[in-house]
Chain A
Amino acid sequence: MNVGQTFLTVGAAIGLACASSVAVIAIAKVRRGRDVARSTAVLAPYRRALVVIASGEDQDGQAIAALSAVPAPIWARLRPSVVAFLPKVRGIPGVNLGELMRSHGEIDEARRMLTSRSAVRRACAAYLLGLVRDPDSAALMLPLLNDPAADVRMVAARALGTIGDPSAAMGVMGALRTQHGQIGLPAWVAAEALLAMGVEVGLALQLGLASEDPAVRNLCAVVAGHGTHFSAAPQLRILLATDCDGDVRVSAAVALGRVGGADDAATLARHADASETTVLRRTCAVALGDLGRLEGLETLAGLLGDGDRRLAELAADSLVRIGSAGIARLEAAAATGQGAGARAAGGALELAGLRGQLVVSGTGS
């Protein structure tokens, strides 16, 4: 093939591809515009009824009856709006929207789709069953925690959390493990799901805190702290003192600050020592403030002059949060007028004054 023929061939191919791209752009734009206009027109008569249901004002049930009776083609256009409302409502409106979905056979269809060959369909089905908080579907969704598709595992965990079935807690923890180099369940999704399951996951948490997998121990420590599971405190102390994973120790320290008792001030103080890592020291300083015990005052006051100035700042902030006794320590440190400790104390007092915390604590501003 000579240069001229090559030019003609390449030129024609590129020209055709360019024209096709322009056509795709134009067709996509036209179709989207038409679709939006058609949906708007079709849905206009039903919008008010949908808003009435979602706002909980459908006391006579007329709106739900009207929307339950819409024909399938209109329901197909109305359905996305109903699904979009579901995560935003709670209580009676949520139940009514769920009933509306059920009346159109969506719940039964979703249950069937949980075993679909398409990962997207399985995920969509689990998502919907979670949104309508269908308790009968919890058992059907448990196997999805080990689904080969990451999205399906994630949506199933969220749905189980929304339904609030604590028997799924161990399954959620098990789904955390890394599979073929890819993360299992995202840690925050698992934590949110366990938190949503409430205090009944306490036993599962205790088992998780003793897990061999650091990701599971870390997750359980986070949940124990955020969910204020006081029964986890003994295990958290052990993790803080002995765990081989730095992240787990940090999470345990945070959790102890929330669920610990008077004795834990000494535990946290020990780990704020200079021999520990920077991250753990800082975390313990914050946790001592969260704990709010007077037993932590000495340690925190001692940290004001530490070479790690972020640690000093956090310690000063914790002293403010402990209350009047902590603020008195800060005032004493600031009164010396010089040195790193005085600077940290002065800065914290200044910020506390701006926030009105000095007035609340009764020491004046």
Chain B
Amino acid sequence: MMTWFDLLEGLRLVVSGTMNLVATPMLIYFLVINTSLLVLMCLAGWEFWHQSRRKGYAGSEQAVASQLGQGVSVVVPSYNEEVVIVTSVQALLALRFARHEVIVVDDGSTDATYEKLRGAFDLVCVQREVPDDLTTRGGIIDVHVPRDGRTRLVVVRKESSGRSDSINVGINAGIEPLVVFIDADSILEPDALVAVTKPFADDPMRVVATGGGVIRAVNGCKIVDGRMVEVKLSEPWLVRIQVVEYLRAFMLGRSGWSRFGALILISGAFGMFRRDVLVEVGGLDPDSIGEDFELVMRIHRHMIRKRRDYRVHFVAEPVSWTEVPVTAKVLRSQRKRWHRGLWETLWKYRGMLLNPRYGRIWLVALPYYWAFELIAPFWEFVGFVLVVLGFALGVVSTQYALLFMVVAYGYATLVTLVAMAIEELSFHKYPHWRDLGAILFASVLENLGYRQTTAWWRLEGWWASLRGKKQVWGTMTRQGFGDDSHAVTTLRGDV
């Protein structure tokens, strides 16, 4: 009969054998992934330095005043957004831009989303038809506009069919040549559209999409009438750590990729596209979990196959602010969905990986996403478990365990601190010393459990996809933008 000692000895043998195989590759893996991030940071820092030097003569006033720029349809898919929808739409209508319309697509909300909008904007039902440039699933119930007939707001109510399909309906309803998608819980800075449309104005024949600025956490900030008036950090450490993550991933990672000319991911929270290109590629895929990533990949593939000269840009400024999950349950669902979306999109476009006709995307971006974005949670989780277990069982030396911690987590902390230094030198959004200190502390704290836990959640998402498990929707606590508004709403995109 097998004793506990035998079991322990067996485990020792397994861990020892595995460590013999992976000890060095694991260190090299973390060394390479962190170094690659550092290189991307440096590219982004270089870009920001150039931008700051240009500020003196950038002429943003001319860009705001120009009547020649293309108009923008701002599409806001909404499902049970009664807490935030009015503030959000007010803020969008008040954006500084020569010509833009706001299209809210109410995806069969079961709360008072529509009633709130009707009350705030004095909506009336009109016969306006929504063209079918893109094929959509959810039937349109009715279309509403403000009674004054001049406020450029259109509210389309439709049967529930998901976020992507709602955006496709919004694209159909839009009349402007550029389309931007924005979540209802996001707040844009007043000049956001000016900045994000600028690449289209500069190079109208070639630019087909821009990643709209840095996404930051709105939790804890003071919002008045849909405008950010004071940037503050939220109390929960879960949110603070996400602030650090967003800073690293959105601002620096994507700026670096853009600088390198191989941007393949534009956030679904704020991305701008040429409407005709969206129609050409068929809009968002309603069956995709990572619909934003999938769309950009499809555009790349389409353009390259058609041999068209095109550009996808990332604009580091201005910023859009969005609510991040405040509970572990919602965060888990979000990360599972993100990783599942990443895997399914990478798998769907695996043909591009080995095809030199796709240039830098084939050569650098896709291999990077496969090797580091997709597989990273596996190595992060397995590496941590192996080293801790091996150390406990006595098969991993103290020196190796410490070296692993330094290379995997110490180096990652350095990457984050460099990101923060670049942020402080370029944008300095957090004015209070206390907040800055908290972010610094969070950059260390994220290595103590948070990263390992989110790695596990991401693996769960991957595994669910491999098993063909159906994606299910859940609920997320929405806090709203006001000081007193708290409510529980269903957020279908995040779970």
Q: Tell me, yes or no, whether A binds B.
A: yes
Q: Which residues of A contact B (CB under 8 A)?
A: 2-4, 6-7, 10-11, 14-15, 17-18, 21-22, 24-25, 28-29, 32, 83, 87-88, 120, 123-124, 126-127, 151, 155, 158, 183, 186-189, 191-192, 195, 215, 222, 226, 247, 279, 308-310, 312-314, 343-344, 346-347, 350-356
Is A279 in contact with B57, judged by CB distance below 8 angstroms?
no
Is A29 in contact with B428, judged by CB distance below 8 angstroms?
yes
Is B417 in contact with A187, judged by CB distance below 8 angstroms?
no
Given A25-B440, A158-B59, A188-B69, also A347-B128 (CB < 8 A) = yes
Is A18 in contact with B413, judged by CB distance below 8 angstroms?
yes
B420 at the interface (CB under 8 A from A): yes
Q: Inside 8 A of B56's CB, which chain A residues have their CB?
A: 83, 124, 127
A180 to B127, CA, bound (A): 51
Given A192-B68, A346-B127, also A123-B57 (CB < 8 A) = yes
Q: Which residues of B contact A (CB under 8 A)?
A: 53-54, 56-57, 59, 61-62, 66-69, 124, 126-133, 145, 147-150, 175, 201-206, 276, 397, 399-400, 402-403, 406-407, 410-411, 413-414, 417-418, 420-421, 424-425, 428, 433, 436, 440
A-B contact pairs, 20 of them (CB 8 A): A3-B397, A11-B403, A14-B406, A14-B411, A22-B440, A87-B61, A120-B53, A123-B54, A124-B56, A155-B57, A155-B59, A186-B201, A309-B130, A343-B129, A346-B127, A347-B126, A350-B126, A351-B149, A355-B148, A356-B149
Is B57 in contact with A344, judged by CB distance below 8 angstroms?
no
Is B127 in contact with A183, judged by CB distance below 8 angstroms?
no
Q: Inside 8 A of B132's CB, which chain A residues have their CB?
A: 309
Q: Inside 8 A of B440's CB, which chain A residues have their CB?
A: 22, 25
Is A24 in contact with B425, judged by CB distance below 8 angstroms?
yes
Q: Inside 8 A of A222's CB, which chain B residues have their CB?
A: 68
Is A29 in contact with B131, judged by CB distance below 8 angstroms?
no
Is B57 in contact with A24, judged by CB distance below 8 angstroms?
no
- Contact residue among A29, A313, A355 (Cβ-Cβ distance under 8 Å from B129): A313
A191 to B399, CA, bound (A): 65
- Contact residue among B124, B130, B201, B421 (Cβ-Cβ distance under 8 Å from A188): B201
Is B397 in contact with A310, judged by CB distance below 8 angstroms?
no
Query: B461 CB to closest chain A CB, in angstroms?
Result: 31
A192 to B150, CA, bound (A): 27
A29 to B421, CA, bound (A): 10
Is A309 in contact with B131, judged by CB distance below 8 angstroms?
yes
Is B69 in contact with A183, judged by CB distance below 8 angstroms?
no
Q: Inside 8 A of B436's CB, which chain A residues have their CB?
A: 25, 29
Q: A313-B131, A350-B128 are in contact. List 6 more A-B contacts (CB 8 A).
A: A14-B410, A15-B410, A28-B424, A187-B202, A188-B66, A352-B149
A167 to B250, CA, bound (A): 45
Most A C-beta atoms less than 10 A away, residue of B124, B276, B421, B436: B421
Q: Inside 8 A of B130's CB, which chain A residues have their CB?
A: 309
- Contact residue among A10, A29, A215 (Cβ-Cβ distance under 8 Å from B424): A29
A188 to B98, CA, bound (A): 14
Given A14-B406, A127-B57, A187-B201, also A192-B131 (CB < 8 A) = no
Is A127 in contact with B59, judged by CB distance below 8 angstroms?
yes
Is B428 in contact with A32, judged by CB distance below 8 angstroms?
yes
Query: B259 CB to closest chain A CB, in angstroms?
Result: 14
Q: Inside 8 A of B400's CB, which chain A residues have their CB?
A: 3
Is B414 in contact with A17, judged by CB distance below 8 angstroms?
yes
- Contact residue among A32, A187, A312, A351 (Cβ-Cβ distance under 8 Å from B145): A351
Query: A101 CB to closest chain B CB, in angstroms?
Result: 14
Q: Inside 8 A of B147's CB, which chain A residues have their CB?
A: 354
A313 to B267, CA, bound (A): 32
Is B417 in contact with A21, judged by CB distance below 8 angstroms?
yes
Nearest CB in chain A to that of B177: its residue: A279
Query: B254 CB to closest chain A CB, in angstroms?
Result: 21
Nearest CB in chain A to that of B56: its residue: A124
A3 to B66, CA, bound (A): 62
Is B131 in contact with A21, judged by CB distance below 8 angstroms?
no
Q: Inside 8 A of B407's CB, which chain A residues have their CB?
A: 10
Is B68 in contact with A350, judged by CB distance below 8 angstroms?
no
Q: Inside 8 A of B402's CB, which chain A residues have their CB?
A: 7, 11
A266 to B226, CA, bound (A): 48
A146 to B402, CA, bound (A): 57
A127 to B276, CA, bound (A): 35
Q: Inside 8 A of B148's CB, which chain A residues have their CB?
A: 354-355
A195 to B356, CA, bound (A): 44
- Contact residue among A3, A126, A183 (Cβ-Cβ distance under 8 Å from B403): A3
Query: A233 CB to closest chain B CB, in angstroms?
Result: 20
A222 to B204, CA, bound (A): 13
Which 10 pairs show the lowest CB-CB distances between chains A and B? A354-B149, A186-B202, A127-B57, A355-B149, A21-B417, A309-B131, A347-B127, A188-B201, A7-B403, A3-B399
A312 to B127, CA, bound (A): 13
A356 to B133, CA, bound (A): 30
Is B403 in contact with A247, judged by CB distance below 8 angstroms?
no
Query: B439 CB to closest chain A CB, in angstroms?
Result: 9
Is B54 in contact with A151, judged by CB distance below 8 angstroms?
yes
A292 to B126, CA, bound (A): 25
Is B129 in contact with A183, judged by CB distance below 8 angstroms?
no
A46 to B195, CA, bound (A): 33
A123 to B402, CA, bound (A): 52
Is B414 in contact with A310, judged by CB distance below 8 angstroms?
no
Q: Inside 8 A of A215's CB, which chain B residues have their CB?
A: 205
A314 to B174, CA, bound (A): 12
A18 to B417, CA, bound (A): 7
Q: Inside 8 A of B69's CB, which chain A residues have their CB?
A: 188
Given A18-B410, A354-B147, also A343-B399 (CB < 8 A) = no
Is A25 in contact with B421, judged by CB distance below 8 angstroms?
yes
Given A25-B420, A351-B126, A354-B145, also A7-B399 (CB < 8 A) = yes
Nearest CB in chain A to that of B197: its residue: A188
Is B127 in contact with A4, judged by CB distance below 8 angstroms?
no
A18 to B440, CA, bound (A): 11
Query: A339 CB to closest chain B CB, in angstroms?
Result: 12
Query: A147 CB to closest chain B CB, in angstroms?
Result: 13
A351 to B129, CA, bound (A): 12
Is B399 in contact with A4, judged by CB distance below 8 angstroms?
yes
Nearest CB in chain A to that of B203: its residue: A183
Most B C-beta atoms less than 10 A away, residue of A21, A127, A189, A347: A21
Given A29-B433, A347-B129, also A22-B417 (CB < 8 A) = yes
Query: B260 CB to closest chain A CB, in angstroms?
Result: 15
Is B131 in contact with A308, judged by CB distance below 8 angstroms?
yes
Q: Inside 8 A of B66's CB, which chain A residues have their CB?
A: 188, 192
Given A24-B421, A247-B205, also A313-B128 (CB < 8 A) = yes
Is B201 in contact with A158, judged by CB distance below 8 angstroms?
no
Most B C-beta atoms less than 10 A away, residue of A18, A28, A127: A18
Query: A363 CB to closest chain B CB, in angstroms?
Result: 16
Given A215-B205, A310-B133, also A351-B128 (CB < 8 A) = yes
A2 to B399, CA, bound (A): 9
Q: Inside 8 A of B403's CB, which chain A residues have their CB?
A: 3, 6-7, 10-11
A11 to B420, CA, bound (A): 20
Q: Inside 8 A of B425's CB, which chain A residues have their CB?
A: 24, 28
